[in-house]
Chain A
């Protein structure tokens, strides 16, 4: 299971740090957050200095309906990426020739960049997999490969599959949707899968047994049918998606780079403050604040990962890391989780995931006996959905 950096605003030296430490297998760039000139320079740099690393650009076309919205936060998309990012209304995309044109524009644009694979654009399916938006999305998927072939570009083609967690509610619709996209006359090599939450802070949107099970199921079905699956914004779920068959996952430094949501592009209510730095504990399958880590590490050393990036959380400094290095610890921990959970055969890998959840529950029980109160994001609420999500996935995939 590969791990990619999910690029976003205020990159600084974070990705370079992750690459130089050997934690990343690739980068998924966000055009919204980087000028075209800078993007080209970054891709050049990666090609010259990290030749084996995947260089991908998410076209972010799923935010295109916001193009007409005043104060939408579309960043550089409007000015630097206008070759393919033009205002669209849903009605326009109900016409196949418009989809073909937009696919060609987006793929032609990417073909001029030093990316290792091309990612075809798509819209977000917001409410139902049995909807007009789902039909539009299927048309993007169906038509992408032929538009790609017409360009004569030999790099592998991935197609965006962006689904709202709300649209995953009906299992029969999901099964039928997957039935259709796995039987294409002209298939791409893979899918760039995004599952959107209402907003990136809504933990329960993603840590929900149905969402976890369905996301794993999507990875499983697509992989079975010969597609490679790269998951965007998959954060700590990455190894679980890997156990289901996924080839890669990604996470970035802000919470909106760890959970996908169109809120990132929508007009902002303003305000907000910098989040408290956190630490991913493999034992907890969760992030805890640095001061919770500081309290716990003396009492329960098992909370530490024993990875090189533990040093970034210096106990003599109250375990507070440099803000820009928090993500490096996240990548290190998720990469280690990938290596320990998403390896071997599928059955073995799923068993390891289940065992990891059981162990995390036991660890949380131990914490409860300590004089420490974890905050709402650090607690064990994610574990039951994870455990049930895996079980439900096994049922859906007929592995039980």
Chain B
């Protein structure tokens, strides 16, 4: 589903603290701009609260959309590590533009390229040192999020930015569908809907109808490893581009993934085996000692 963003002039009128909008990305009901806010370059995120006409329970649907944005902002506000994108100076604000309801906030502007774009740019295959840095970064982000009871639930190449700075090379974005084990679930009518997820990067346990009872950060370990795998091998360990959603889910549930060691024989067996192990279907088979995993990644960088 997509929407047409309002004209820039109307946005600037609704949010007078903002100047100079440059579109960066758009998806679903969300559009992201590079903007000047209080003299600083930031990423301005504008989310339309969809019209509830036709929905079986309009208020529940609206509650979910707004709730997800609020949770994202709350989570970002708690996280201090540089591995996760930081909030900008525009706090969560609501506005009505041309008869539609919006919610908006800003994040720091990250001068870099997401891994999905890099993967599609014909880039050279990354070195083991870079892959370990990437995985280590994602592990630290997962650790911080879990410390506050969050599961990111949407780690994928599109949500990881590679920056141009040596001291901060990768940053994890977009907690838009983050799951909180400490808060009431936001998904409206969960028994009648597919899980909220990007199916190409779906941890198999999310297809268990009762996943909310025992989900934990090992789902993020799975998707982080999947991201590293795809970035390393320049192919997905399971999904094929021609697959429909059913086929993608079926592969996530039943098919053994490709082995990184066969696609990147130049990588150390220790590293390849770890990534392969993280792609096991059963969460208990994914090594979960984050401190140990992070030190393993740092020891080799």
Contacts and interface: CB of A to CB of B under 8 A. Distances in A.
Interface in B189-227: 214, 216, 218
Contacts of A397: 285
Nearest to A224: B287
B284 A178 contact: yes
Interface stretch (A109-117, A179-187, A250-258, A359-367): A179-187
Interface in B275-301: 277, 280-289, 292
Contacts of B286: 224
Nearest to B256: A398
A198 B218 CA distance: 36
Interface in A217-249: 220-221, 224-226
A226 B214 contact: no
Given A398-B256, A398-B280, A224 B285 contact: yes
Q: Which of A178, A183, A226, A397 has the most CB of B within 10 A?
A: A183
Q: Which of B256, B282, B283 has the most CB of A within 10 A?
A: B282
A79 interface: no
A27 B119 CA distance: 55
Interface in B258-283: 277, 280-283
Interface in A156-213: 175-176, 178-180, 182-183, 187
A179 B284 contact: yes
Contacts of B284: 175, 178-179, 182, 221, 225
A225 B283 CA distance: 11
Contacts of B256: 398
A182 B288 contact: yes
Contacts of A398: 256, 280-282, 285
Contacts of B288: 182-183, 225
Contacts of A182: 284, 288
B283 A179 contact: yes
A179 B216 CA distance: 9
Nearest to B281: A398
Interface string B126-151: 00000000000000000000000000
A179 B214 contact: yes
Contacts of B289: 187, 225-226
Contacts of A224: 277, 285-287
B287 A226 contact: yes
Contacts of A221: 284-285
Interface in B129-188: none
A330 to B, nearest CB: 33
A157 to B, nearest CB: 15
A180 B280 contact: no
B29 to A, nearest CB: 34
B187 to A, nearest CB: 22
A178 B280 CA distance: 15
Nearest to B291: A226
A149 to B, nearest CB: 16
Given A224-B277, A226-B292, A398-B256, A180 B214 contact: yes
A176 B214 contact: yes
B259 to A, nearest CB: 12
16 contacts: A175-B282, A179-B283, A180-B214, A182-B284, A220-B285, A221-B284, A221-B285, A224-B286, A224-B287, A225-B288, A225-B289, A226-B292, A396-B282, A398-B256, A398-B282, A398-B285
Interface of A: 175-176, 178-180, 182-183, 187, 220-221, 224-226, 396-398
Given A176-B214, A179-B283, A225-B288, 12 more contacts: A178-B284, A179-B214, A180-B214, A183-B216, A183-B288, A187-B289, A221-B284, A224-B286, A225-B284, A225-B289, A226-B289, A398-B280
Q: Ordered nearest first, which 8 A-B pairs have the shortest CB separation?
A: A226-B289, A178-B284, A179-B284, A398-B280, A221-B284, A224-B287, A182-B284, A226-B292
